[in-house]
């Protein structure tokens, strides 16, 4: 396997290298992208692992730390490019998006941007230095404190059907029982997201791993951590980067469309259900949570299932603002449990 070069620095085959890629400078700090390169001795794909395009989703940093500790450059086929904190500016403020006056504060909606806003500069550097060297992509979006995501997404409507099919196979190799089929040309997550842009612009198959969250206790969070490490290794096995076969599930919930069930008003979000209801079906109008005013202690909102659906992402009790992440309910008129081929 030849040496790989990133930002003018060579990463020798069979070794680990840290590459710090400069982006810009904010008023009080440099904005860089720290990239862990695990360069295999043998020929193979180059897998880009992106974490924290959103600055409050730091759980995925732990996933990459644990994953990298298990990789052996001597036996690895291909390369792993792992970015724990893609969006240092948002991470510094503990916010999902960059707090500035730009028109595009969300780094995962601005790939291909041409301006000097920080999101555009960050994603442009990711594109130039990392996407152009990658053959496959996993972008982690593990939820912020107080909520949990529970799906692996792939894009089913790339212009090139072969890219869509390989993305689907990567999602299956992750071995998680919920898969979300995204549509970048008509859906919320458009062609300027990481996987949307990589697949359309560079024909790079990719998935979004959204499994886990924070604030649910150490035992549960360690289980989610292991699920993600095992899932990433499953993708690497599918790609032939490490030995063995992926641990596949026999049935998956294939989400075609879903409802975001969020509070309309702010207050203390108090679920009436627990994590034991994940992946179970809800009847239309079934109560999921109440919102209580922190000032008067009155119930000011109730969250109910909009239709017949299956819960896949959930939350715990917390103070929540209007529109906060609470529940994701798969519309079972457009989704189904299917046997894995």
Provide the pLDDT for residue 3.
Answer: 87
Model confidence pLDDT, tens digit, residues 158-206: 999 999 999 999 999 999 999 999 998 877 778 999 999 999 999 999 9
> Angle at Cα 116 formed by Cα 20 and Cα 36, nearest 5°?
15
Predicted local distance difference test score (pLDDT) of residue 256: 93
Q: What is the pLDDT of residue 190?
A: 81
Residue-level pLDDT at 2: 82
User: Which residues partner with 20 through β-bridges?
Assistant: 34
Q: Which residue has tokens 């890219």?
A: 163
pLDDT for res 184: 87
The DSSP-derived string for 25-79 is E-SSSEEEEEEEEEE-SEEEEEEEEEE-SSTT-THHHHHHHHHHHT--TTT-EEE
Look at residues 70, 211, 40 and name the one whose alpha carbon lies nearest to residue 138: 211
Structure-block tokens of residue 299: 């119930």
The confidence score (pLDDT) of residue 187 equals: 73
Q: What are phi and psi of 279, to 5 degrees?
A: 70, 15
The predicted-structure confidence for 275-307, as pLDDT tens digits, reads as follows 999 999 999 999 999 999 999 999 999 999 999
Tokens of 234: 């499953």
pLDDT score at 122: 98
Task: Give the rounded distance of the alpha carbon of 271 from its chain centre.
Answer: 24
Q: Which residues pair with 35 in a beta bridge?
A: 19
pLDDT in tens, the chain (341 residues): 788 999 999 999 999 999 999 999 999 999 999 999 999 999 999 999 999 999 999 999 999 999 999 999 999 999 999 999 999 999 999 999 999 999 999 999 999 999 999 999 999 999 999 999 999 999 999 988 999 999 999 999 999 999 999 999 999 999 999 999 999 887 777 899 999 999 999 999 999 999 999 999 999 999 999 999 999 999 999 999 999 999 999 999 999 999 999 999 999 999 999 999 999 999 999 999 999 999 999 999 999 999 999 999 999 999 999 999 999 999 999 999 999 87
Tokens, residue 221: 């969070």
Exposure b/e, 221-237, CB count within 10 A at least 16 = b:
beebbebbbebbbbbbb
* pTM for this entry: 0.97
Write the DSSP symbol of residue 236. H
Token pair, residue 100, equals 């500035």
Instruction: Give the domains, in start order, of the chain with CATH numbers.
Output: 4-249 (3.40.630.10), 260-327 (2.40.50.100)
Question: Do 48 and 241 form a contact (C-beta atoms < 8 A)?
Answer: no
- C-alpha 4/C-alpha 146 separation (Å) is 40
Give every CB contact of residue 223 below 8 A, 6+ residues apart in sequence. Answer: none
């Amino acid at each position: 396997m030849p040496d790989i070069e990133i930002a003018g620095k060579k990463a020798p085959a069979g070794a680990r290298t840290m590459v710090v890629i400069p982006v810009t400078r904010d008023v009080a700090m440099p904005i860089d992208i720290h990239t862990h390169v695990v360069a295999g001795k043998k020929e193979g794909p180059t897998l880009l692992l992106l974490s924290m395009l959103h600055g409050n989703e730091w759980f995925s940093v732990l996933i990459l730390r644990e994953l990298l500790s298990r990789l052996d450059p001597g036996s690895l086929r291909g390369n792993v490019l792992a970015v724990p904190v893609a969006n240092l500016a948002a991470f510094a403020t503990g916010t999902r998006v960059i707090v500035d006056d730009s028109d595009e504060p969300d780094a995962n909606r601005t790939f291909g941007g041409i301006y000097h806003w920080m999101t555009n500069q960050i994603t442009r550097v990711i594109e130039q230095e990392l996407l152009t060297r990658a053959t496959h992509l996993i972008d982690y979006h593990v939820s912020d404190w107080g909520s949990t995501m529970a799906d692996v997404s792939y894009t089913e409507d790339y212009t090139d059907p072969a890219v869509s099919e390989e993305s689907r196979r990567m999602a299956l190799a992750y071995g998680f029982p919920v898969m979300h089929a995204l549509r970048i040309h008509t859906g919320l997550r458009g062609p300027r997201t990481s996987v949307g842009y990589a697949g359309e612009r560079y024909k790079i198959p990719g998935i979004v791993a959204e499994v886990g969250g924070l604030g649910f206790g150490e035992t549960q969070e360690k289980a989610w951590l292991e699920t993600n490490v095992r899932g990433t290794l499953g993708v690497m096995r599918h790609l032939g980067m490490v030995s063995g076969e992926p641990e596949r599930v026999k049935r998956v919930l294939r989400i075609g469309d879903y409802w975001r069930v969020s509070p309309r008003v702010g207050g203390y979000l108090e679920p009436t259900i627990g994590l034991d209801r994940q992946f179970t079906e809800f009847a239309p109008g079934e109560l999921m949570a109440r919102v209580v005013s922190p000032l008067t202690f009155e119930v000011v909102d109730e969250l109910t299932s909009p239709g017949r659906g299956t819960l896949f992402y959930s939350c715990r009790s917390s103070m929540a603002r209007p529109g906060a992440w609470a529940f994701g309910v798969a519309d079972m008129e457009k989704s189904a449990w299917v046997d894995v081929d």
